[in-house]
Structure 1
């Protein structure tokens, strides 16, 4: 498995308190190659654009926009806007809070924070159904992440997932993984970890659901708006999400270097099928499947399956069995549609194809898979990165804007956390270094991207596969 040397990126320790005692001066702003008078941010509602802005159009606007350059000192009590409430954005807010810097997190989530830390709870006849429908579990490799996870364990936010996990090959052949390294899950579902992270912060504000549609520099500050509605002004901004929405937001923002790097990111598409069955799924030779989670091999339509009931509600001995099935990246690409408007015919075809894939993976005869009494299909159109610049964060000191996210280091929760920490400390150091040369704080603006390898559902440092097990390990599993 592809391994990232994350530990080579050292985070700078906290320096001076963020609130300087220098007098506040009115901020000014200038632009490279442009000295035109600036207009105040528009409050008129923009015309609705049709879905599918061409890549050529986006690239043209991205490459031609002028670079914003802020020249005045930060305000006495600077505030950072964080666009995206996934794990990277939340961790960035937490570590800004540790440095005494205020932030506002803008997130589009209707059900909660977390992004790909997604959990769905469905009340079905007073018998709740629960599904982790994006991130399934995580492993720990970096000491900084281990320190956070240990704190989460002490608070009861996460626990070790001791259920059997392994590889399931087409036809029903299952090989369990070794119990080491430990695998971790959120105690009550991944989303509830995200919702709990900010409980002890003092300087973090949450705006949800809020879809930031425009960034405008004016009078030394960033002005944010949602469809013409002002959402505040900020000293610096963090983009903690990606995909086509981030690209559209950045293509006319005045941040061409950041926009170009974001445009180089390539993302997979993954279908998530949530399915509840009245009884345990059958498995050849046993009454039910011998695992709680499995990476599926040799099936075009399915890459992962997990029993959420066993995983999250281990004490529940009866009741429905809630399963999450994730497609392969190839199947997602083959059936890619706008995730905001999935055609009924596509949804039907994908659902049938994935259930047939589950049936084949389990080694069941055609048509013998029990019919689920509840299903929900979701497309993650920007699921996981397939390439990376291999830097912990990106920061443009002239435009006072940065990017954090798992894709900068890998494709897992640990990478997202380390990225959020790195950007928070970098921004804090920049704010707390008045008079420093901005060029010294530029990060990741010109890094080349390299292919990113891993499972279709992400990277899990230390997690072995049968191909990497020696004979002694296989013997231990078979004992």
Structure 2
């Protein structure tokens, strides 16, 4: 089976004859899809994630307003579209299980140069104009997959070292304290930062995976350019009735690229109207050039919040002030290139190592789904040879 061919119905139905233990690092869409697919086929899977919960860029942020009430925000990917038949089949299954739904709202575009709303638009790559969201939050997809039978999830557990041992169960994982996290037959790295030199930029430490182990993959992993983004979470007591759409792309703005009304998605609370703004990569890059990738001070985040909201106000569509406003930095929001479009994941068959993520296929949820499926297919083929 070529790398571009996905799991056949026969492979999906087949139980793995030999018990195989696989570690999946990262609980975003690609890691969660991979783990779920492996578990459905009899593989023992453990997911490791340094975060408090699953989701990656499809995380849902929980905040508390001044009145003590909880506010939720899909502060990463606002929605996703699917055109590939393999991805569509999986999304339809998720719909039937109740943790995915279509988001049926009018989207539009606003030109900051002419200060005019340009009317409704169809998102690029969205042939049927279908927009899907997780319910009740974007992280519901990863949460459901990570809680699937056969999947053990270890949150708040960062991987500091992936050691290759010339033994029957070759992979040994360690945390930042040097403690052993287990031995595994195979590893799936769905977090690009643990295999990229960018890990060093953020932590000052070498990446957990020594790329000398995988020289054929190292050249592709040496430089995965990324585009940063800031998101601004806003909550209003009253609807912003002057905005004629619930999702807006911005043209001719150096600060804003996108805005959407989060509280109009299926399954969300309507106690307040919640909007999320996304910055342009250029704006985010200019901030990071000054601050670096270390944790931002509250003063810096407040300044970013003010600049992004002021640009939103300049549209003339914002009729009131928010009672909640908070910015979040996505330091590596979108991969700027795809490194395995045909194969859909990177694979080292000698070490049962798969590397998957949207940076392999395309910088969106569909790309992450397809890459996760491809990685699972590789491991399932390997397990049949044990």
What TM bracket, shorter-length normalisation?
0.7 to 0.9
State whether residues 160 and 183 of structure 1, in contact with CA within 8 Å, keep that contact through their aligned partners in structure 2: yes
1:432 matches 2:380:
no
Q: CA deviation at 1:340?
A: 4.5
**Per-residue deviation, residues 397-445 of structure 1 (Å, max 9, x unmatched):** 12321101011110111110111111111111022125xxxxxxxxxxx
Q: Which structure 2 segments of 5+ residues have no match?
A: 201-205
1:297 matches 2:247:
no
1:238 alignment partner, one of 182, 185, 188: 188
SS at 2:56 equivalent: coil
Tell me, in whole angstroms, the C-alpha distance in 1 between the residues paired with 2:186 and 2:279: 38
1:109 matches 2:51:
yes
SS at 1:300 equivalent: coil
1:255 matches 2:255:
no
**Per-residue deviation, residues 225-249 of structure 1 (Å, max 9, x unmatched):** 1111111111111110113239712
Correspondence list, 1:389-404, <5 A: 389=339, 390=341, 391-404=343-356
Q: CA deviation at 1:314?
A: 6.9
Structure 1 residues 313 and 87: alpha-carbon distance in aligned structure 2, compared to 1, 3 A threshold? closer
1:268 matches 2:227:
yes
SS at 1:133 equivalent: coil
Aligned alpha-carbon RMSD (Å): 2.4
Structure 1 residues 376 and 259: alpha-carbon distance in aligned structure 2, compared to 1, 3 A threshold? farther
1:173 matches 2:117:
yes
Tell me, in whole angstroms, the C-alpha distance in 1 between the residues paired with 2:269 and 2:285: 38
2:59 alignment partner, one of 112, 118, 121: 118
Tell me, in whole angstroms, the C-alpha distance in 1 between the residues paired with 2:7 and 2:145: 22
**Per-residue deviation, residues 288-347 of structure 1 (Å, max 9, x unmatched):** 31111111111111111111122346783xx42211111011111111144541134432
1:214 matches 2:166:
no
Structure 1 residues 347 and 421: alpha-carbon distance in aligned structure 2, compared to 1, 3 A threshold? same
Q: CA deviation at 1:252?
A: 5.9
Q: CA deviation at 1:104?
A: 0.6
SS at 2:249 equivalent: strand
State whether residues 122 and 129 of structure 1, in contact with CA within 8 Å, keep that contact through their aligned partners in structure 2: yes
**Per-residue deviation, residues 119-154 of structure 1 (Å, max 9, x unmatched):** 113243353322110011111101111111111111
State whether residues 242 and 382 of structure 1, in contact with CA within 8 Å, keep that contact through their aligned partners in structure 2: no
State whether residues 123 and 129 of structure 1, in contact with CA within 8 Å, keep that contact through their aligned partners in structure 2: yes
Q: CA deviation at 1:392?
A: 0.6
* Residue of structure 1 equivalent to 2:203: none
* Residue of structure 2 equivalent to 1:354: 308
State whether residues 108 and 211 of structure 1, in contact with CA within 8 Å, keep that contact through their aligned partners in structure 2: yes
Q: Which has the higher strand share?
A: 2
The count of corresponding residues between Structure 1 and Structure 2 is 359
Q: TM-score, normalised by structure 2?
A: 0.86
Q: TM-score, normalised by structure 1?
A: 0.70
Tell me, in whole angstroms, the C-alpha distance in 2 between the residues paired with 1:344 and 1:231: 35
1:308 matches 2:262:
yes
Structure 1 runs of 4+ with >6 Å offset: none
Q: CA deviation at 1:12?
A: 4.4
1:161 alignment partner, one of 103, 115, 127: 103
Structure 1 residues 315 and 403: alpha-carbon distance in aligned structure 2, compared to 1, 3 A threshold? closer
State whether residues 162 and 210 of structure 2, in contact with CA within 8 Å, keep that contact through their aligned partners in structure 1: no
SS at 2:256 equivalent: coil
State whether residues 302 and 327 of structure 2, in contact with CA within 8 Å, keep that contact through their aligned partners in structure 1: no
